[in-house]
Structure 1
Amino acid sequence: MTAARADLEAARLLLDRLGVSPADLLQADHNDRQIPTFAEYVPIVEAAVSDGSRRAYRSYWRRLVEKWGDRRLDEPSPSDIERLIQEIKANVVARRNARGGRSAAELFVAAMRCLYKRAVADGHITAAEDPAQKVAKPRRLPSTRRAVADARLAEINQIAATTGDDPDLDTLLLRLHTETACRRGGALALLPADLDPDQCLILLREKGETVRWQPVSPTLMRHLLRHIEERPATPATAVLRYRNGRPISRRRYDHLWQRIGAHLPWVAIQQISTHWLRHTTLTWVERRFGHAVAQAYAGHLGGDASVTSTYVRATLQEVAAALAALTDEPHPLA
């Protein structure tokens, strides 16, 4: 008998005499861990994640607190999570663009994985004990968004310019998103210091903590500078703001499209939104300047799975050239 085997036999004999099994030791170690409840841990996770993740997952985390607030993180099984997914899908708010609660289920699984990933990192559970990773995430269906035709886009801009309490602000918003194909978060985060008038560039901070310089037309740059001059604010205040200097929020976008939809029924029926402008511009750029330029225009550099994209990235000058063609205005970098 080897020394190691002799040690194991001695350990077994000692455990038998004490009336303790190996499973009892594992359970004792498990019970010694101070595993928080959902009610205790969700606020910690909310405070740690980014603003974007907080907005996306907050409603699902609150649902967890309502349903499982007193339960410890290690108590729910994958089946418990799947039952809650079915409950969420059954109670999802019915909308015209609803897909049987598929998006809600996908977001809920993502919210659970985010929470448990941090629980593993904090040492509350092990990776093997993570039940969220054992639940399948619904496959995302193709988006119904598409490019808006030129004539339809002109109608949208006409309504924005002739209705509402602040047409100057609304038309500036539409022009900004149409030229740059930026997301709402990028526009709302824009600061006066992010404008480079000499080179007609703006600094966009968007999801995933990406940062990029995006060309804009001289006309748009003039309107942005005038907007800043006419609406009082500090250098740390967002560029896009109301006449009283208060920065706008996402609610301004919601009200804008509700108003446009009230005048143009097809906008309300198809649920056109700001993100459709991004589709419109990037489709136009891709058709005329190719995939690499459209990828750079969108701020997707580094996100393409193709190895070739590493070698064929478009330059800022090429993006500026696409913008110049789009707006029919010369650009300093083109």
Structure 2
Amino acid sequence: MPTFAEFVPRVAAAVTPGTLKAYGTYWNRVVDEWGSRRLNEPGPLEIGSLGKQIRANRVIRRNGRGGSGAEENYVAAMRCLYKRAVDNGFISEADNPASRVAKPRRQASNRHALADKRLTEITEIAATTGNDPALDSLLLRFHTETACRRGGALNLRRCDLDERQCLVRLREKGGTERWQPVSPTLMRHLLAHWGERGDGDPTGKLFWFRHRRPVTHRRYDHLWTRIGEHLPWVATQGISVHWLRHTVITWVERTFSYATARAFAGHSESSGDVGSTATYAKADLSELAAVVAALTGEAHPLAPHDEDQ
């Protein structure tokens, strides 16, 4: 039976980068607390108690909600760790202590669609402040047109741009990939940005700083902190780029249909939030292109034209 100090590095080396980013901090904390102990020593009560400690000692963030997210992520990290222990035959599923630790009840999201006036204020601040307003404006425009998650932008590469059909390939959480329409104007600016700042490698990152470094998640943190300094309501409500996703998807659902909004958001049929009707009620690329055309007021090459109706 391995100790936590022996087993955690093996699991960390075997999981995906996304999983390691989500759970690595909690695994490190477990090693600090129980490094010399065997996997089968802590019981459900002790594992749950450590989660309460992590919740109580969490870093207080501007968008924090009492620490329930930290505790939930810790429990998920422990379940992931012990699942590997079960898979490798160190313990049986019946003796898995993490499976008997309850997650805290997830609170309803406080995110909602932003009013047009608020969205305009945000884009104006991004375009007129900071050390790289061109980059920040392009990022916000990209999220506003695609409603993608932050990872969709950070993972974007030059080879993910289909300039002829005005499509971008989004690679987001869970290893999902999908093609999403963008306006011809945004496509031109994406190509120009990469031509001016990119390193010439079409498989490398698309978004770059002026000083030839690829953009990371920290740019988003700095961007929203700066916007919050100019717009106090942004800081108070903890507005982030994910609110843009809520805004766009809400507009798509209200203006078009639920099926179209679901496809525009990139939600899979297996997410479990709808019935089997979702298998048949799907939106194709031409319908998503029509959304972009309506959203931007600009014709899209894949959108149906009047003569096609």
- In the alignment, is the contact (CA less than 8 A) between 1:192 and 1:235 conserved in 2? yes
Find the aligned partners of 1:124 and 1:230 in 2 and give their Cα distance.
Answer: 53
User: Which of these residues, 154, 157, 164, is aligned with residue 198 of structure 1?
Assistant: 164
Query: Partner of 1:46 in structure 2?
Result: 12
Render the CA deviation track for 1:168-194: whole Å, top value 9, x for unaligned: 100000000000000111111111010
**In the TM superposition, what is the alpha-carbon distance from 1:252 to its structure 2 partner?**
0.5
Pairwise CA distance, 1:99: 3.1
Corresponding residue to 2:179 among 213, 217, 231 = 213
Q: Is the 8 A contact 2:158 2:202 kept in 1?
A: yes
The aligned residue for residue 319 of structure 1 is 288
Q: Quick one: which of 193, 202, 206 aligns to 1:239?
A: 206
Over residues 247-266 of structure 1, what are the superposed CA-to-partner deviations in whole Å (9 max), with x where a residue is unaligned? 11000111111111111111
Counterpart of 2:66 (choices 87, 100, 118) is 100
Instruction: Compute the TM-score of the two structures, normalised by the length of structure 1.
Output: 0.88
Residues 23-62 of structure 1: CA deviation (Å, up to 9, x unaligned): xxxxxxxxxxxx1110111111111112221111111111
What is the TM-score when the length of structure 2 is the normalising length? 0.95
Q: 2: CA distance between counterparts of 1:275 and 1:222?
A: 24
Residue in structure 1 matched with residue 41 of structure 2 by the alignment: 75
**Larger displacement relative to structure 2 (113-122 or 97-106):** 97-106
For residues 215 and 241 of structure 1, the distance between their equivalents in structure 2, rounded to whole angstroms, comes to 22
- How far the C-alpha of 1:305 sits from its partner, in A, is 3.4
**1:289-328 alignment runs, 5 A limit:** 289-302=256-269, 303=271, 304-328=273-297
Q: RMSD value over aligned CA atoms?
A: 1.1
Change (3 A) 1:311 1:266: same
Larger Rg: 1
Distance 1:238 1:97, change over 3 A: closer
Query: For the Cα contact (< 8 Å) 1:119–1:125, is it kept in 2?
Result: yes
Q: SS of the residue aligned with 2:72?
A: helix
Distance in 2 between residues matched to 1:214 and 1:325, nearest whole Å: 15
Give, in angstroms, the shift of residue 96 of structure 1: 4.8
The answer to whether the Cα contact below 8 Å between 1:292 and 1:314 also exists between their aligned partners in 2 is yes
2:241: which partner in 1? 274
Residue 27 of structure 1: aligned partner: none
Q: Which residue of 1 aligns with 2:306?
A: none
Which aligned segments of 4 or more residues in structure 1 are displaced greater than 4 angstroms? none
2:227 corresponds to 1:260: yes
Tell me the distance in 2 between the aligned counterparts of 1:291 and 1:74.
47
Q: Distance in 2 between matches of 1:231 and 1:310?
A: 42
Gaps in structure 1 of 5+ consecutive residues: 1-34
2 CA distance for matches of 1:232 and 1:203? Answer: 18
**Is 2:31 aligned against 1:65?**
yes
Give 1:93 deviation, angstroms: 2.7
How many percent of aligned residue pairs carry the same amino acid? 62
Structure 2 CA distance, aligned partners of 1:176 and 1:118?
Answer: 38
CA distance in 1: counterparts of 2:190 and 2:277, whole angstroms: 37
Kept in 2: contact 1:232–1:244 (CA 8 A): no
The question of whether the paired residues in 2 share the 8 Å contact of 1:301 and 1:313 is answered with no
Corresponding residue of 1:153: 119
Tell me how far apart the structure 1 counterparts of residues 198 and 258 of structure 2 sit (CA, whole Å). Answer: 41
Equivalent-residue separation in structure 1 for 2:297 and 2:176 (angstroms): 28
